[in-house]
Chains A and B, each alone.
Chain A
Amino acid sequence: MAKTIGEINEKIKAGKAVVVTAEEIIGIARQDGMKAAAEKVDVVTTGTFAPMCSSGAYFNIGHAKPRIKLGGGRVYLNDVLAYAAFAAADLFIGANALPDDDPRNRVHPGEFNYGGGHVIEELVAGKDIRLSAMAYGTDCYPRKRLETWINIKDLNEAVLFNIRNAYQNYNIAANLSGKTIYTYMGVLKANLGNINYCSAGQLSPLLNDPCYKTIGIGTRIFLGGGVGYVAWQGTQHNPDVPRTEGSVPTRGAGTLAVIGDLKQMTARWLVGTSMLGYGCTLSVGIGVPIPILSEEMVRYTAVTDEEIFGAVVDYSEAYPNLKPDIIAEVSYAQLKSGLVTVQGKEVPTASLSSYSRAVEIANDLKQWILNGQFLLTSPVSPLPGVESGITFKPLKERPIND
């Protein structure tokens, strides 16, 4: 019997909802069957915690006396460049931003110990952040210099706004070349020395709702330890990729843009992260509740690591040169065993996504719902699916000959 989100919310308010994690639903579906599980379970919670580079935060610092117009000026937060091209007092800082004097990869591999992701983590942790601004001065905003400490508790608004998170599946990285390479997928040893992957697999939000039947614009979620919302499909959202019989994408597919009040988030779930030889980023914790509206949603959420496959890509040659070639397809169950056989070689695997933290998020979200403090939402509008015809286009370079 089909349920509605309204009915599930009534059960949550009455303390009668049955909520399980995307790990727990696997056993329930196996034991009770899909039909019985659909009747019994109301919500399945998912989770993921991993470096998510297209993350950032915006905030309003309030007006200085006399006033200064940051827009069009240059602003640094703990020496890290922030984006100041709005009005007088608004700023945006991206996770990958670096201090001007960071040596980058001048001595390769660069360390990238501090960047935008670390500023966001420290801001959330309640630490004072040093703001240094230069502006050009106007009649109504006369100041040209501002040096001050800022703290999240004094900001008017502080909002996490990540334009691409929670990738639905992802490349699995290897290195076929003869030397170690340093990538956003971690350190990859020469001659297929290791394989790195980055997905929570059977716990990952979009892998539990592969056709975006319940997750859409406006969906309320766990974000950075607080409550957030799906704002839009993420950039590079690419639903039309090869899929398994169970509709699970076998390549990077859907993505989410997410938003939420930074003031109620915690540094445990927004961790400044450094990728050797690559750059700075932010590890983000996200959990999405999936309402079990029908038997179909049990089938989707009961997906196991054995049924989720990803493509192993060579990051020494195919990836940098935008070649579509893949080395192999392997399942997340194989990856999680610690060894996969690729090109006749047993290769050790490592994860960049913290599965134990993903479990923790799914359990936290489950607890919030059981406590009646978190209600489910109907999407305002669905995410574009396979039928949308959306494709992820490469850049069409056009030489400038003037």
Chain B
Amino acid sequence: MAVAKRIVLRFPQRLVDRPIVSRLVRDYNLDFNILKASVTQDDEGLMVLELSGQQNDYDRGIGYLTTSGVQIQSLSQDVLRNEERCTHCGACVTVCPPHAFEVDPVTRKVLFNDEKCVACGLCIKACPPRAMEVHF
């Protein structure tokens, strides 16, 4: 069974200069698409990627990453909307590159489809009441 999942990888400082993601292709037959990559203030690496392939290859690849010391989180938990704060104005709708926000034509409320979210963070500061929160 083929799978495609978006995950957040955190590389501790000792792993930042090692080729790790490339082995997912070479040894585990997986494809990846890097959605975001950065090095944090503590010299840790952070990468958001979409990983796809067969389920058993995917599981083995994730096992390899974990034993290498890479921390893995699933992406959908990372950008959250504070429902108390959101006023459903709609300012986020055209700011979001993967179109994760959509206005319901009947209620005119803004729907946040976190499956589409790539955690780019553009909505965080563009949101007037600051309702979008990023948790890495």
A273 touches B (CB below 8 Å):
yes
Q: Are A355 and B128 in contact (CB under 8 A)?
A: no
Whether A283 touches B87, Cβ cut-off 8 Å, given contacts A274-B130, A359-B108, is yes
A357 within 8 A of partner (CB): yes
A350 neighbours in B (Cβ, 8 Å): 90-95
Task: Report whether A187 and B90 are in contact in the complex, using a CB–CB cutoff of 8 Å.
Answer: no
Flag whether A255 is at the interface (Cβ < 8 A).
Answer: no
Question: Which of chain A's residues has its CB closest to B125's CB?
Answer: A276
Q: Does B129 contact A (CB under 8 A)?
A: yes
Q: Which residues of A contact B129 (CB under 8 A)?
A: 271-274, 283
A283 and B108 contact, CB distance less than 8 A:
no
B113-133 residues at the A interface, CB under 8 angstroms: 125-126, 128-130
CA distance A50 to B91 in the complex (A): 11
B103 interfacial by beta-carbon distance below 8 Å: yes
How far, in whole Å, are A49 and B87 apart by their CA atoms in the complex?
Answer: 9
Q: Is A113 an interface residue (CB 8 A)?
A: yes
* CB-defined A-B contacts under 8 Å, sample of 30: A49-B89, A50-B89, A51-B128, A109-B125, A187-B91, A187-B95, A187-B126, A189-B94, A196-B94, A271-B85, A271-B129, A273-B128, A274-B128, A276-B126, A336-B108, A338-B103, A349-B94, A350-B91, A350-B92, A351-B91, A352-B90, A353-B89, A354-B90, A355-B88, A355-B108, A356-B88, A356-B108, A356-B109, A357-B88, A357-B89
Task: Write the chain A residue with the least CB distance to B96.
Answer: A350
Of residues 238 through 274 on chain A, the ones whose CB sits less than 8 Å from some CB of chain B are: 271-274
Chain B interface helix/strand/loop/mixed: loop
Q: Which of B85, B90, B125, B130 contacts A351 (CB 8 A)?
A: B90
- Digit string of B72-112 for contact with A (CB within 8 Å is 1, else 0)? 00000000000001011111111100000001000111000
Q: CB-CB < 8 A to B95: which residues of A?
A: 186-187, 194, 350
Closest residue of chain B to A114 (Cβ to Cβ) is B130
Closest to A283 in B: B87
Tell which of B87, B103, B107, B128 touches A275, judged by Cβ atoms closer than 8 Å. Answer: B128
Q: How far is the CB of B71 from chain A (nearest CB, A)?
A: 28
Q: Mark A342-366, 1 if CB is under 8 A from B, else 0.
A: 0000001111111111010000000
Say if the beta carbon of A111 comes within 8 Å of chain B.
Answer: yes
CB atoms of B126 and A186 under 8 A apart: yes
B94 and A356 within 8 A (CB): no
Query: Chain A interface residue count: which class?
Result: 20 to 34
Interface residues of B in 2-45 (CB under 8 A from A): none
> How many Å lie between the Cα of A351 and that of B91 in the bound state?
6
Q: Chain A residues with Cβ under 8 A from B103's Cβ?
A: 338, 351
What is the bound-complex CA distance between A7 and B1, given in angstroms?
72
Which chain B positions have C-beta within 8 A of A274? 125, 128-130
Seed contacts A187-B91, A354-B108; 10 additional CB < 8 Å A-B pairs:
A49-B89, A113-B130, A186-B91, A187-B126, A283-B129, A336-B108, A338-B93, A350-B95, A351-B89, A352-B90
List residues of A (263-316) whose CB comes within 8 Å of B's CBs. Answer: 271-276, 283
Most buried by B among A193, A195, A354: A354
Least CB distance, A289 to chain B, in whole angstroms: 22
Partner of A271, one of B87, B94, B107, B125: B87
A354 touches B89 (CB 8 A): yes
A47-73 vs B, Cβ < 8 Å mask (1 yes, 0 no): 001110000000000000000000000
**B94, B125, B128: the one within 8 Å of A194 (CB):** B94
A359 CB to nearest B CB, Å: 7
A51–B91 CA distance with the chains assembled, in angstroms: 11
Q: Which of A109, A193, A338, A350 has the most CB of B within 10 A?
A: A350
Closest chain-A Cβ to B107's Cβ sits at a distance in Å of: 6
Which residues of B lie under 8 Å from residue A272 when comparing CB positions?
A: 129
Nearest CB to that of A351 among chain B residues?
Answer: B90
Chain A min CB distance to B132 (Å): 12
A7 to B109, CA, bound (A): 37
Cα of A196 to Cα of B89 in the assembled complex, Å: 11
Which residues of chain A (136-181) have a CB below 8 Å from chain B?
A: none
Interface centre among B88, B103, B125, B128 (most CB of A within 10 A): B128
A70–B92 Cα gap in the complex (Å)? 41
A273 vs B92: C-alpha distance in the bound complex, in angstroms?
A: 14
CA distance A50 to B90 in the complex (A): 11
Alpha-carbon distance A210/B115, docked complex (angstroms): 44
Chain A residues within an 8 Å CB radius of B90: 350-352, 354-355
- Return chain B residues, CB-CB under 8 Å to A275: 128
Contacts of B89 in A (CB 8 A): 49-50, 283, 351-354, 357
A352 and B87 CA atoms in complex are apart in Å by 10
**Interface membership of chain A positions 320-356, coded 1 if the CB is closer than 8 angstroms to chain B and 0 otherwise:** 0000000000000000101000000000111111111
The interface residues of chain A lying within 8 Å CB-to-CB of B126 are 186-187, 276
